[in-house]
Structure 1
Amino acid sequence: MPTIFGNLCCIVRRCIFSVLSIGPMPNHIAFIMDGNRRYANKRSLEKGTGHRAGFSALISILRYCYEMGVKYVTIYAFSIDNFKRKPQEVQSTMDLMKEKIDELLTEQSIVNEYEVRINFWGNLNLLNDSFRLSVEKAMRSTCHNTGPVLSVCVAYTSTDEIAHAIEMSCYEKRDMMKELHACSCKNDFFEEYDMQSVISVVDFERHLYTSGCPDPDIVIRTSGTNYCLFV
């Protein structure tokens, strides 16, 4: 009976989503995963239980988005500021995320079902070796997938992204000026230097972690101070 009921619910859901997808549909939805610890504390659950509940709900939400035709989903999963938490809590969260990433690469996962391409955005050098290897494997294994795009922000803040883009733009301009100096004669060097040395908006945007991805149409933060939507 539970299997029959579950299959019936799945069919009804797909029918509803098919109708909804006929109308205007967001191209890109972003979720800020927040409130997992509050969710667990409120229910007197063990540490880490809230994060597991959040990841389980995330898979359901991804399925809903893909069934409705959303092409880009971004998950803000772990901020650089989160590294300030207790070391054992950070390690536990890293281990859980690695476990879930590895699950996404299994044959029966939602990634293979929908041909999802996975990106990871952030300062990945801050991740421990084991987690970073899983992240790199996920991106490498799905880079040729042609379905929707899932971007996961880990070791990420917007200020770090801006600083990174500026730094990379400066490095790029420095190398360009060295090449220009080597190839140009003295008479036209300074004219070319003035034209090429300025960092433009295009230069800046090209070096953002989010380069190539459209801006979110909707950003959803999953909890307030007294509730958690990822349940």
Structure 2
Amino acid sequence: MAEAVAIRHIAFEDLGSFEQVLRDRDFDVTYVDAAQGHVRARVERRRPDLLVVLGGPMGAGETDAYPFLEEEMALIRAHLSRAKPLLGICLGAQLIAAALGAKVFPAEAKELGWGRVDLSGEGAVSPLAALTGPVLHWHGDTFDLPPGATHLASTPVCRNQAFAIGRTVLGLQFHPELRGSAVESWLIGHAHEISQAPGVSVQQIRTDTHRYAEAAEERGRRFFGRWLDGATG
């Protein structure tokens, strides 16, 4: 049985709909919670076939406050040296970029809520082509592309929404893994961040979730399955 390990930084930001895709493909799925410490040792003990680094409210550069981020970046570099599939979502994508020497920095504005991504030419022929409708955005930082990365997607607020390095490494600034049933936890857990974002409201995100989430989940599962086919085939 193949082993998938997901590094989780906050309880409600999990693999979402991606978890069932993995289990349907006979992956053993394990979460390693960053708050419990010894992140690198706990992951490397399992020698995962797939590593997923999930989102979180801290910034990739806050290593003094959150030393486990340094561990995660060292782990990312070690995992890449073994040429195993690696997926980073939001903070996870930022950590991949930072681990490879790219700059991570505050975006011009926070991007919170539902919206489309614009695919580059390379993105349009990648598994991201399945993401034809709105996805959930939830970030205040952005990053430069790491060396050797292919640019896949953008929005007007954030140019670097997705990148790939070969077939096995993918970084996503947005959240195609999200299940609509989880959004209330995000609205509660990130209440302060929402209150500090001009033009963003709990009610609007809730309304848009009812409108978009069911179809977005289906597209997200389709996208992730196609990416796994290429990354693990």
- Shared fold (TM-score, shorter chain, > 0.5): no
TM-score, structure 2 as length reference:
0.31
Structure of larger gyration radius: 1
Q: Which has the higher strand share?
A: 2
Relative CO higher for 1 or 2, CA cutoff 8 Å, sep ≥ 6? 1
